[in-house]
Each structure stands twice: as C-alpha cells, then as structure tokens.
Amino acid sequence: MRDLLTSVARRNAFLGLNAGDDDHAFARRACLRGGGKTQQHPGFSTAARAIYNIDQKYVELDERWFAAGKKKKKDLRVLQLGQWREFSAREQIADPMDSHIEVSGVEHLRDMGNCCKNLRYVSFRGISRIESLPDSIGKLRELVVLDLRACHNLEELGQGITKLDRLEYLDLSECHLLVGVPRGLGQLTRLEILKGFVVANSNSRDLCHLNELAKLEKLRKLGIVVGKMAVPTEDEFLKLGEFKALESLKISWGFLNSAKNGNNNNATEATPRYSVATMKYALPPNLKKLDLHCFPLADFAQWVRPTGVKKLYIRGGKLTTLGDEEGWEAEVLRLRFLSGFQCDHGTLRRLFRKLTPENTEIHECPNFRPGNDVEDSADTQAEVEDAVVCNEVAV
C-alpha cells in the first residue's frame, strides 16, 4: 500500500521526497534531503506549492531560486529552509552541528518578495549567516507565519516586516544579536503570537516599545527579552496591564549569566543599565500563564501579584521568597534552578491552596524543604536547558 501511494503521489507531482530525487522540477511539494550540500539550483517547478528542508545542512542559494519574470513561483505557499524541529539546549550542547543549518547566497533573499508574493509560511529557524531581513519581505502581504527562531547572526529586522499586515505568528526567540524590533509593529493588527520581543533603549525612536504593542487587540501570547543592553523607562512595563487579550506571558531578564553546568551558585551578575528595584510592573487582566526566567528580585512581593494566573513558572534568578500573602490562584507551579529560594512544603501549601502534588515541581532548589508529595526531578541533564536560560538571553 505504501508503494502504491508513493507511486500515485509521484505520478501526480504531489511530493518529491527521496534523497537524490531529481523530480523537483515537477513536484508541487519539494523536499531537500541528503544532509550535505544542495546542488547549486535544485530546479523547482514554477507550480511548486511548498519547499521543505528535511535534513539539508548546507543550502546554496543563487539568483534562480527567486527568479522574477516568467519563472515567478506564484503558487508557492510554504518555504521552510530552516529546522522543522525544536532542539533543546541539552541536544544543542551534545551535538551543535545537528541543529545547525548554513545558507550561502543569502543576498538572494531580497528577490523573494518579488517572486513569491503568495507565501503564507516562511521559516528560517536555526539558519546562520542571515544578518538582516531585506525590505522586500514587506511585499509578502499574504504571509501568516514568520519563524526566525535561533537565527544567531540576525541583527536587524528592517522596516519591511511592519508591512506584513496578515501576519499572525512571529518568532524571534534566541536571536541573541537582535537589539530591537522596528517601530511600526503595532500596525500588525492580526498578530496573535509574538515570541522574543526585545525591550529596546527608551531613547530609540526607530524601535518598537511595549506601549505600541498594546494596540494589538488579538495578541494572546507574548515573550519578552530584557537584555543587558536594555534601558527601559521605569513605567514601561505598566503598559502590560493594557494587553486585554493576552493569556500567556514570558519575561526573560538577560543580566544574570548562569553557569552552563547547571549550578546557579556559580552564577555571575552583569550590572544592568537601569534600576531593577524601581521598575514598575503590571500584568494583563486575563493572564493565565506566567513564565519568568532569571527573575531579578529576591522578594516576589516587590514585584506584582499575579492575580488570576493559573500556571506560574519561575526558572533561575535571585528569588529567595514568595512572600507571606495567601490566596494565590495558581494550579500549576514550576520552580527551577533557584539556589537562594528558601521555603518549606507547609508554607507552599498555605500560599497555594489549589495546588496538587502532580502539578507541583521544585527542581534544583537546594534550600527548599520538601514534603513527600512535592516532585523534585533528579534528572539534571534532562533539564539543562533551564540552567542556561539566563546565559541565553544575555543580549
């Protein structure tokens, strides 16, 4: 049956999958396979609807990839040159090359906006050598998903991205050289998920700030990176209280560098360029999940009470106490890699009345005194990605 389906798919140009397959010129869904280099030009059909990179580590672009004129790829909807899977930090450390994709000829991406105007999905996840996005990307007016996660050389997005008025999903996570997002992102009124938003210097007029994102009425998931070069105003995070549709919020502070061996006792602190203690915060009124990485304060009571939050994750940072106020609404609690956190099982149960043992995890918090029904994972290697999170966001 499998052979029959494969034969029918090939005969109808549905999919070209096999390594070394030379039918890209006919297949409407082409796959790059083989692990090595692509040939200089794979000869995709002008009627191709999707191009997937399955396991090609080195992709060579030339002018024929995005040729204009009669060879425009008007039917192309999906372009996935990057990784299709997500690698944990542990996997990347074990085999860095496994998650690495190198693309040469990135200058030819400037022609993508002229050649492939009907693209809905573009992924460059994990691709090196992309330092900036061409302004012509703004011509992809049908684009819904743009995945730039782990483009480690990416420094500038360009104004073209602010013209993608159909965009719903934008992932900028792990783009460590990115210093900000262009002003005008608030015009993308359909945006629902934004990951890796970099808090910029408050004096930068050309970069987007949180007050602009408050205009996005459909935004339901937001990830924020506060890098060591960030200089926000004291009340910038008060704008989060105006994000009425937001249900999931992740904030990563980047001025704590955690040791990669998972031992937070060896963490070194880089001095932030603003006063952490005087910063004012608010939380979205309908927030359900709060994920904090490298929390910069010792006492959570100095921050803002996460009223209504059902899932609370805190990984890494200076936290020593959650305070004494009872009535937390969280039903899921994850505390990881908090070397200074001092608490006991009884206090935790008193603060979080709705917690159950299966939804409570205290991991690598050496000063916590657990009871028998609190999970403390022993698999440090499996959670190594949480130990290095502070180092990852040190922009």
Whole-angstrom Cα distance, residue 36 to residue 47?
26
pLDDT at 146 over 50: yes
In this structure, are strands 50-53 and 169-171 parallel, antiparallel, or unpaired? unpaired
Phi, psi at residue 107, to the nearest 5°? -65, -20
The single-letter DSSP state of residue 224 is E
- Note whether residue 15 is domain-resident: no
Tens digits of residue pLDDT in 235-292: 889 999 999 999 999 999 976 443 333 444 444 455 555 667 778 899 999 999 999 9
Q: Is the pLDDT of residue 26 over 60?
A: no
Residue 224 lies in a domain: no
Q: Which amino acid type is present at position 188? A: L
Q: Which one is predicted more confidently, 61 or 257?
A: 61
When comparing pLDDT for 15 and 368, which is higher?
Answer: 368
3-state helix, strand, coil in the chain (%, to 5): 20, 20, 55
DSSP states along 70-91: GG--TT--EEE-S-SSPPPHHH
Q: Phi/psi of residue 360, each to 5°? A: -125, 125
302 domain residue, yes or no:
yes
Phi, psi (5° rounding) for residue 102?
-115, 130
**pLDDT tens per residue, range 161-193:** 999 999 999 999 999 999 899 999 999 999 999
**Full domain range(s) for residue 341:** 288-372
Residue 308 maps to a domain: yes
Domain-located, residue 363: yes
Higher-confidence residue of 259 and 369: namely 369
Position 29: which residue type? R
CA distances from 311 to 102, 255, 316, 328 (A): 37, 25, 17, 11
Q: State CA 339 to chain mean position distance.
A: 26
385 vs 286: CA distance, rounded Å: 29
Cβ contacts of 152 within 8 Å, gap of 6 or more = 128, 174, 175, 176, 177
Task: Say what the pLDDT of residue 85 is.
Answer: 74
**Residue 296: inside a domain:** yes
Domain membership of residue 115 (yes or no) is no
pLDDT, one tens digit per residue, over 307-351 is: 889 999 999 999 999 998 888 999 999 999 999 999 999 999 999
Q: Are 385 and 88 in contact (CB under 8 A)?
A: yes
**To which residue do tokens 């040190």 refer?**
394
Selected residue with higher pLDDT from 8 and 59: 59
Q: Kindly state the helix (H) or strand (E) to which residue 210 belongs, with its residue range.
A: helix 210-213
Residue 242 sits at φ, ψ, to 5 deg, of -95, 0
Look at residue 254 in the predicted model and tell me its pLDDT. Answer: 79
Q: Which two tokens stand for residue 233?
A: 């105003």
pLDDT tens track for 40-52: 555 667 778 898 9
In a domain, 106, yes or no: no
DSSP-assigned letters across all residues of 102-119: EEE-GGGGGGHHHH-TT-
pLDDT tens-digit series, residues 85-142 = 776 666 665 566 666 788 888 888 888 888 888 999 999 999 988 999 999 999 999 9
How far apart CA 255 and CA 274 sit, in angstroms, is 11
Domains: count for the chain? 1
